[in-house]
Structures are given as C-alpha cells and as structure tokens.
Structure 1
Amino acid sequence: MTTDQRNPKVDFYFTEARNWQQELEQLRGIALDSGLHEELKWGVPCYSLHGKNIVLIHDFKEYCAFLFFKGALLSDANGILIQQTENVQAARQVRFRNVMEILEQKAILKAYIYEAIEVEKAGLKVDLKKTTAFPIAAEFEHKLKEIPALKIAFEALTPGRQRAYLLHFAAPKQSKTRESRVEKCIPQILNGKGLKDEILKTIK
C-alpha cells in the first residue's frame, strides 16, 4: 500500500483507534491494495469504485470487520460472511478478533473484494423485501391516521428510511415503549430525516 492512496480525512480513524489498531490497519491495506478509493462515510472508512460502495471497515467492542454492501450476492466459498441480524438484507460482515486472522485470510479477503467489484460492475442488485412486507406497530399506525402531515412525510422518505423506522417501532414488546419511540421520532420524520440521520451527523 502506497501512502498516496490514503485519504488524510480518514487517517484519524486508524491513528486514534483505542482497540483493534493493528487489525484496522491491515484491513485498510487490503482494501487499498485492491484498487478501491478511500472515503469517510457514516463516520467510518468506506471503499468504493467509480462512486459505488464496495466495502467498509467498522469496529465494535468484541470485533472489527469488513462489511460488504452487497455481501448477500457473494458466493461466500469460504463460509465467512455473517448476517448481522435477520433484518439486514444486503450487507454481510467478515469479523476478526486478532491480526493473525486477517493475515491468514489476506488472499481470501482480496478475492471477496474482487468478486464484490464484479457484482457491482455487472449492476446486480439484492432483491429487497418491499416496505409493505414489514409490520407496522399499532401505535405508529394510529399516529399516521391521527396526523395527516406525518403520513405524507413518512411516505416521502426513502424505502430504507421507512424500513428503519418500522423496525425501530415494532421491536419493543411493551406498547408503552413502542409509543414512546414513535413520539420521539415524529419531529424527525416531519423534517424528512431518517432514524439515524441525526446520530450520523454528530459523528461526521
């Protein structure tokens, strides 16, 4: 990896990392050596080709990971891709808990990136469930009927933002919690914002 491939705007993510610093640097090298363009998106390093997102790097307390945007379309010959939750439709992770795991799988990871690039070049798309297939919490349905402007604003959101809200509202078991979530999100929906827009804004 040559230093001129690195985007200075992304350097802080690696230099200020409290955990997984060695692992993150290895993942960065693999992504850049694959000919991808490095950017900062959603507060994390994102790697693209001709403006199309291929893979990003993110880290958690228990692991760090490559996340392939269209991982569901990869053949996954080595069985290393992980679906974060049952509600994640397109993206898939490859998780790491030490630097040796990355070094041992370097060739495999590059092969996955090249396959992901070919998927993008071919214009393949993940067959996503329609928003209408997601359950609507009764508490939110009531508000949509009660506030016409809310219904208009919600329907104007992108399908992805709509799905995020529907999942967020339907998740709690108790009606009181669902109602509280709906109330907190109403102003954001009316402002045309997605569930995570304000969170992402603060970390950029």
Structure 2
Amino acid sequence: MEKENKWDSSHLWAEELDTLKAVINKTPLVETIKWGAPVYTFNGKNVLGLLGFKNFFTLWFYKGFFLKDEAGVLVNANEGNTKSLRQWRFTSKEEINEKLILQYITEAIEVEKAGLEIKPEKKVVPVPQALQAALDADPALAEAFGKLTPGRQKDYNEYIASAKQEKTQLARLEKIKPMILEGKGLNDKYK
C-alpha cells in the first residue's frame, strides 16, 4: 500500500499535469513513481519530477543548480537546505511553454550525461574536550579510538558533546571507554 503524501495536491491540477506529461513524453526520459510522485529518469538517474501543490504545480529538476536558467524560471524551494534541486512553478495551463520546457529538459539530460553533481558536505564533529583529555591520559584508549572508523568516532564525539553538564559528559565517557577499547561503535547494536 502506497503511503499518501499530505503535501501532494496533484488532484487540483490534473489537466495541467497531464499537459506537462505529454511534453515530457516527447523526450527520452523514462517515467517512474518515487515518493508517491512521477519522477523521470535518464539511464536510471533522476532528472526531473512533477507534482501539484495547493497554490501551484511544478516541474522540479534534480540537478537544476547546473542549468543556465536563461528564462529565469527556476527557484530553490528550500533556500539554505536544498543544494541542487530547482523548481519551475506554474499557476495555469497557459504558462506551459512546450518549446522552453523541452529546452530545459534537454539541458537537464546533458547535465546528467556529463555527470555533474554537488557532493554532500561532510559534517566534521570536533573531539570534545572531555574525550580529548581522556585520550591524552590513556594511550591505549587513544590507539583504540584512532582505529575506529570515522563514523564511529563521529558518533562518540556527538554523544559526549551533546551532554550539557560536565558530570554527564564524564559519566558518558566512563560508559563508552570499554566500548572504544573493544573497537565497538556506539550504535553497533542497532545496525
């Protein structure tokens, strides 16, 4: 059973979305359903999707950041969070310009062929002072911590840093020392 999307208002724009689909079907993109909405792929990679919202319907380009957008129609739907995705919003069927849409889709396919993408930023979590002091005082603990994967080190750093009081940090530190010495990660039991 497919999960219903609360934000999906495609039923309000059925005719308009069908018109967009007819334009998209003139391209080599393949339609699939992902996240409960039509998504169009090229060589198995997401290129664009379409969906209706309460006040507009939209084409969204997964790598829209790389498009020239000479017509100035693309917007970042979630500024500050969304890196690559861009939307082209419509409020009426009359705004659908087939020639221009096909130009954008052709460019989006070329972006996919070129393999352009924005690499996710790695979140660096510094070693908290309490943990660093324990590592400095215990060479065996420091060696064991150094052998952990970066992800496990990050989990331990976040675990200690998230405690607001020093006594809580120290209590957590005592709890994790044996796990570190055994080469185990904080969340291994959940994996």
What is the CA-CA distance between 1:17 and the residue it aligns to?
A: 4.5
Separation in 2 of the partners of 1:152 and 1:28? 48
Match of 2:88 among 87, 94, 100: 94
Q: CA RMSD for the aligned pairs?
A: 3.2
Within the candidate set 146, 157, 162, 1:142 is matched to 162
CA distance in 2 between partners of 1:70 and 1:61 (Å): 24
1:45 to 31, 38, 54: 38
Rounded to whole Å, the distance in 2 between the matches of 1:36 and 1:99 is 22
The 1:123–1:17 alpha-carbon spacing in structure 2 relative to 1, beyond 3 Å, is: closer
The yes-or-no answer on 1:118 pairing with 2:115 is no
Structure of larger gyration radius: 2
Counterpart residue number, 1:34: 27
| Structure 1 counterpart of 2:30, one-letter code | H
- The two structures have a TM-score, normalised by structure 2, of 0.61
| Distance of aligned partners of 1:73 and 1:101 in 2 relative to their CA distance in 1, 3 Å threshold | same
Residue identity matched to 2:162: H
Cα deviation, residue 130, structure 1: 3.0
Q: What displacement does 1:128 show?
A: 3.9
Contact 1:90 1:128 in 2 (8 A): no
Supply the AA of the counterpart residue of 1:109. Answer: I
The alpha-carbon distance between structure 1 residues 152 and 44, as it changes in their structure 2 partners (threshold 3 A), is farther
Per-residue deviation, 1:26: 1.2
Separation of aligned partners in 2, 1:191 and 1:63: 42
Whole-angstrom CA distance in 2 between matches of 1:83 and 1:42: 19
Q: Is the 8 A contact 1:73 1:126 kept in 2?
A: no
Residue 76 (structure 1) aligns with: 69
SS of alignment partner, residue 85 of structure 1? coil
Partner Cα separation in structure 2 for residue 81 and residue 72 of structure 1? 9
CA offset digits 1:121-147 (Å, max 9, x no partner): 1111124433349xxxx999527x759
Which structure carries more helix by proportion? Answer: 1
**SS of structure 1 residue aligned to 2:11:** coil
